[in-house]
Structures are given as C-alpha cells and as structure tokens.
Amino acid sequence: MQGFAGIMWLLSMALIVFSGFALFDAAVRREDAYRAADKKTKPFWLIVLGIAFVVNLLFPILSFLPIIGLIATIVYMVDVRPAIRALPGGGRSRRGSSSDGPYGPWNGGR
C-alpha cells in the first residue's frame, strides 16, 4: 500500500509541474498571438490553466477535478501552444531595441 501512495504522490507532483509549466508558458506569450492563432484569448487561458493548477494543488489525484484540469492542460499543450509557436516570433513577448523598425532591426544601411 505504501508503494501505491508513493506512485500517487509522484503522479500528483508531475501533474502539478505540468500544469504549472503550461500556466507559465501561457503567461509569457503575447496576447495578440492568441487572437492571431484564433485560440480564444490570453485571459481565458490564464484563468483556465490557473484554476487547473490550483485544483491540482488542493485535490487528490483520484478525484475528478484534477482530471478535468489535466484535460484543459493537455488541450493547451497540444493545440494552443503549437499554434501560437508557429506564428512569427513564436508568440513570445519581446523587447525590441530602439533601432527596430516595423519590419525588423534597422542597421543604417550597413
């Protein structure tokens, strides 16, 4: 019985890490990338993944709520994330330099 509890604990920790990674990944993506990929909005995914993360922290793995959270996390990771990463720039927030123009960096004709 102790081995089963250990496996369940490891599975629960893996689920928390997985949902935490998805939440962090959704937070660092640009908001306009979600609209460009036609995948709801950034606040929608942050709320869904945040709830999934909290549910995984609070409830045991054998209840149905973490399973729903796992499904939402899997949908983000296999559908939304690849669509956003396929966009130019990967959907990541970036801070351009002062010499960046609308079509990329301006190097003064060099």
Contact 93, 30 (CB under 8 A): yes
Q: What is the pLDDT, as a whole number, of residue 6? A: 87
Q: What is the pLDDT, as a whole number, of residue 29? A: 92
Contact 12, 69 (CB under 8 A): no
Tell me the pLDDT tens digit for each residue of 87-107: 887 666 655 555 565 666 666
Q: What is the pLDDT, as a whole number, of residue 5? A: 84
Q: What is the pLDDT, as a whole number, of residue 95? A: 57
Regions of the chain short of the pLDDT cut 70 = 90-110
Task: Enumerate the H helices of 1-110 as residue ranges.
Answer: 2-28, 31-36, 42-58, 64-75, 81-85
Q: What is the pLDDT, as a whole number, of residue 79? A: 94
Q: What is the pLDDT, as a whole number, of residue 44? A: 95
Q: What is the pLDDT, as a whole number, of residue 109? A: 56
Q: What is the DSSP string of 39-55?
A: S--HHHHHHHHHHHHHH
Q: What is the pLDDT, as a whole number, of residue 108? A: 59
